[in-house]
Structure 1
Amino acid sequence: GQSAAAPPPQLLVEQLHEQARLHPQRTALVWEGGSLGYAELHQQANRLAHYLRDKGIGPDTCVAIAIERSPQLLVGLLAILKAGGAYVPLDVEYPAERLAYMLADCNAGLLLTHSSQLATLPHVQGVGVIALDQLHLDNWPSQPPRLHLDADNLAYVIYTSGSTGQPKGVGNTHGALAERLQWMQATYALGADDVLMQKAPISFDVSVWECFWPLIIGCKLLLAGAGEHRDPQRIAALVQAHGVTTLHFVPPLLQVFVQE
């Protein structure tokens, strides 16, 4: 007879919360000059998620985020997902008119950014802009918001660069994302002692699994600095300094890295 299909994996948000419960004291994020434990990372993201819910964010609402690679970026991504929203990563290096097109096209409810980016980001009618570094969220609940997501809800929308004509947004559901992460783990098996480096630009789909895969396994996520993904020497130094075990390369950069 037919063998029963494997049950679908838990959705990302549930898997993330499970690690925060299991390993609150473990180091989740590491960057040049600091680190955050699982409990602390999730508490920050939970507070922001409640704030976003209060601003009307929920399932299938798009929230754009334009922040250079930093702890704040990760907190923002996690908070959008915990609020039920779909994140839309914007590369701060893109021209303003391209960003404006993306914001309007995805019907973003909000744009999360950092005060240092406010001068260069476009203003789009109906899209509220929030500088995360200017928020004071200490009084918001540190537990995750109650949430009913299903596999068909949108998790993120990533835009093609738009080098030919207008950028095109490609959305992915929570069900598909959970299956992708499950496949990554079945294929490349991260363990608790692994260290994965996040270095792909946030507007590339590789960044999706770089950001979330370690955090559902309970290991360390090392954030390369802004722009450092272009510098093989810097990547080599980070790999040695932090004992990185897992990272993604496009072949030309890998060749240069190996020569380093």
Structure 2
Amino acid sequence: PSLVSTMAEELGAGPGSRVLQFASFSFDTSVWEWTMALLTGATLVVVPTDKRLGPPLAEFCARHAVTHLTLPPGVLATLPDERSLPAGATLIVAGEACPAELMRRWSATTRMFNSYGPTETTVDATLWTCRPDHPGPVVPIGAPVHNTAVRLLDDRLHPVAPGSPGELYVCGDGLARGYLGRPGLTSERFVADPFGEPGSQMYRTGDL
């Protein structure tokens, strides 16, 4: 429910939307794409393997009137220009850090979001609405999605001061229970949440 409500309310996916299926089935973003389409009443548009980069990808999206697409920044950079996608399309970048200049160029003409989330947090943990006037050299990851919280903590699990480095922890309804058959790794990465209800956990992302 958390993932679907984010897609419907924040990204506007729903009946009449046409969602691009771009990610490999072995990658968690594919679940994001299926969910965005099939659980909101939208249509899933599967891109052929020979049209996954550059002008062929842009032409495919235009021909099939794609309204929502999630791309790695490296793939987005291969598209012809910032006006090559269907008018009114919603673009989400995910899977790797997005260069600030690429974000500024595309968000000037396209409704664009930067998505961050490890597989262990059910694909997406935070979302940021991209803005061409963002001045910084780093694209923000934004705020937590529905029913999710993030914490920036030091090595003693204490909150860090604003502007100080810390490790990102994620907690909420989308958190996995652990790694199947790997209790050691589970105990290392899924730790007790000292700020939550008794028995609640948070995921140690390893990201600073």
Q: Indicate whether the TM-score tops 0.5.
A: no
Higher relative contact order, structure no. (Cα contacts within 8 Å, ≥ 6 residues apart): 1
Which has the larger strand fraction?
Answer: 2
TM-score normalized by the length of structure 2: 0.39
